[in-house]
Amino acid sequence: MINSIEIDGYRGFDRFEMSDLGLVNLLVGGNNSGKTTVLEAIHLLTSKGDPATIWQLLWRRGEHMLDDRPREVQPEVDICHLFTGHDLHEGSKIVLSAKNQSPKRVLEFVVAEPTKTERDKIRLEGSTTRFPYVLHIKGNQVPADTFIPISSKWGIPSEAFEMPRRMRTRISDDLDRVQFITTESLNSRLLVRMWNEIALTPQEELVLNAIRCLDSSIERIAPQSINEYANTSRGGFKIKMKGRELPIPIGSMGDGMWRMLALAIAISRSKDGVLLVDEIDTGLHYSVMTQMWKLLYNAAIKLNVQIFATTHSSDCVNGLAKICSDGQDIQHRVTLNRIESGKKKSIPYNEGEIRMAAERKIEVR
């Protein structure tokens, strides 16, 4: 479990530290304070600098170079935006570190000119593009020869992410234990694949209990063809309701149902790992906040999953405070961290302080 995290040179953080972390951690703060950036940093750390994770983080934010490009030109992601100040040059560095129960985990991204050996490796991979720089990925859990080529425009073309494929296979065993749910939730193709891996296991009941928080008349849920829903944000599942002969598509049930389904399936697939959720309350009514937190908290204990989530909602905070009031063995397992723009450390709240803030209506967001 991650006990603390330090961020140097990543996005808006020249330096930032968050400590006294628990099993369930809620991050609050104003717009553009860096809550999502912290989730991304944890994602990079827990995925051990996997190049595919870098691509996902940049593409998700629209940090790519697509404008006025011919179709035959490969898309590139613009890695300048990963570095504080959006300024990139040789020697630019990002350092992420986390203190765990095991030895401290460190991950570095460094921009440098490629060595002759690295140029030779790029050519051996079949690329004819000249890359004047490379992004070295270093760390105590990363293979020593890991790097990604950088173009003259400070972009990384899609072909470059195929070059470190051998490295990715060496760390792929850990990747499925890290799930990142964005504000748009997870796509149908991924959710159906993950559902098929938990079907007919105890985790299937966890998912059913989760969506029954929103509608107690749900009896069963079943996946449909992935291909049929490959390009939809919500689909791929049908739900059987009490008193109805025919099942209905999950897309008919509203945003909250899809959000709760994604949360339950993702934590079920994160055993002994990490679940990251941006704006966890998206699409959910305030009346189910406590039920949501109870479900996630109990699943986190049972499956040994550390949760990091963000919110702007006072109802979400109050729902977390409720489980702090009800739990008998919750000590040192739940935290709230307030992130303020320009501050180098978050402000931590423990279980008692979260509960007291809710009871006295003290604003912690």
> Which residue among 172, 203, 220 closes a domain?
172
pLDDT score for 169: 42
* Residue corresponding to tokens 């979400």: 316
* Residue corresponding to tokens 């309350």: 281
149 with 115, same domain: the answer is: yes
113 with 147, same domain: the answer is: yes
3-state SS, residue 285: coil
**Within-domain flag for 298:** yes
311 with 210, same domain: the answer is: yes
CATH number, domain containing residue 350: 3.40.50.300
> Which residue among 172, 191, 220 closes a domain?
172
CB 129 within 8 Å of CB 153: no
**Which residues share a beta bridge with 5?**
18, 98
Domain enclosing residue 260, as ranges: 178-359
Residue type present at position 141:
Q
Q: What is the pLDDT along the chain (365 residues), one digit of tens a residue?
A: 899 999 999 999 999 999 999 999 999 998 989 999 999 999 999 988 888 889 889 988 989 886 555 555 678 899 999 999 998 999 999 999 998 766 788 999 999 999 998 888 887 766 667 889 999 999 887 877 788 889 888 888 877 766 555 444 444 445 558 899 998 888 888 888 888 888 888 889 999 999 999 999 999 998 876 565 455 567 788 999 998 889 998 888 888 999 999 999 999 999 999 999 999 999 999 999 999 999 999 999 999 999 999 999 999 999 999 888 765 556 668 999 999 988 999 999 988 888 888 877 777 76
131 with 251, same domain: the answer is: no
148 with 206, same domain: the answer is: no
**Within-domain flag for 317:** yes
183 with 216, same domain: the answer is: yes
209 with 233, same domain: the answer is: yes
> Which residue among 172, 199, 225 closes a domain?
172
pTM of the model: 0.90
Residue 54 to residue 230: CA distance in whole angstroms: 23
148 with 193, same domain: the answer is: no
184 with 164, same domain: the answer is: no
Q: Please state, as a whole number, how many other Cβ atoms lie within 10 Å of the Cβ of residue 336.
A: 26
Domain tally for the chain?
Answer: 2
103 with 224, same domain: the answer is: no
Question: Nearest 5°: phi and psi at 72?
Answer: -75, -10
**Within-domain flag for 296:** yes
Residue 264 to residue 199: CA distance in whole angstroms: 13
117 with 188, same domain: the answer is: no
**Within-domain flag for 41:** no
Nearest residue to 199 (alpha-carbon basis) of 237, 243, 242 = 237
**Within-domain flag for 92:** yes
189 with 282, same domain: the answer is: yes
**Within-domain flag for 364:** no
Q: 278: which residues sit within 8 A by CB, 6+ positions away?
A: 35, 36, 39, 180, 181, 182, 183, 309, 310
**Within-domain flag for 225:** yes
3-state SS, residue 325: helix
pLDDT score for 52: 84
**Within-domain flag for 32:** no
CB 207 within 8 Å of CB 186: no
